[in-house]
Amino acid sequence: MLAKTLKKFAHTKSLVKEYNHWLLLCRYEQVTLGSLILICKEEKTAFSDISQECFTELYVIVKAIESNLKALFDYDKINYLMLMMHDPEVHFHIIPRYARIRKFDGVTFKDTGWPNAASLKDTVNISQKTFAKLRQKIKSEF
């Protein structure tokens, strides 16, 4: 099952960083600037079933995500969404939140849900070139 989810999120083209137990991906469908996906490499479908090592490493990863995205894009808040309905493996959608518009590579990113919940359906269409630049920028911080 994990292979199917990784394929859906195009992990070979979106990988930001591989950890021992997690994969950090740049989200193709950017909800807000810097949207990421964090996928557990263990084939678990319940958060409580992941190993202690995964939980321990998650602490380190969350610290890195928050400090690096803050340095890159100066988000106002950050949301971690763990929905696991269509893609049942343990994973988070990481959505930086912004009170004001952000721009990257000539593209305007507006947080349409601010200050309420983010909608994964409200995405900014970006070109493959812009996606590659964004992924590289984020990757360079990690």
Domains, the chain, ordered by start = 2-141 (3.30.428.10)
Greatest pairwise CA separation for the chain in angstroms: 43
State pTM to two decimals: 0.95
Cβ-Cβ contacts under 8 Å for 38 (sequence gap 6 or more)? 22, 23, 24, 25, 61, 65, 91, 92, 94
Q: What was the pLDDT predicted at 1? A: 65
Rounded-to-integer distance, Cα 11 and Cα 30, Å = 15
Q: What was the pLDDT predicted at 3? A: 79
Rounded-to-integer distance, Cα 91 and Cα 99, Å = 26
Q: What was the pLDDT predicted at 5? A: 82
State which residues of the chain have pLDDT below 70: 1
Q: What was the pLDDT predicted at 2? A: 78
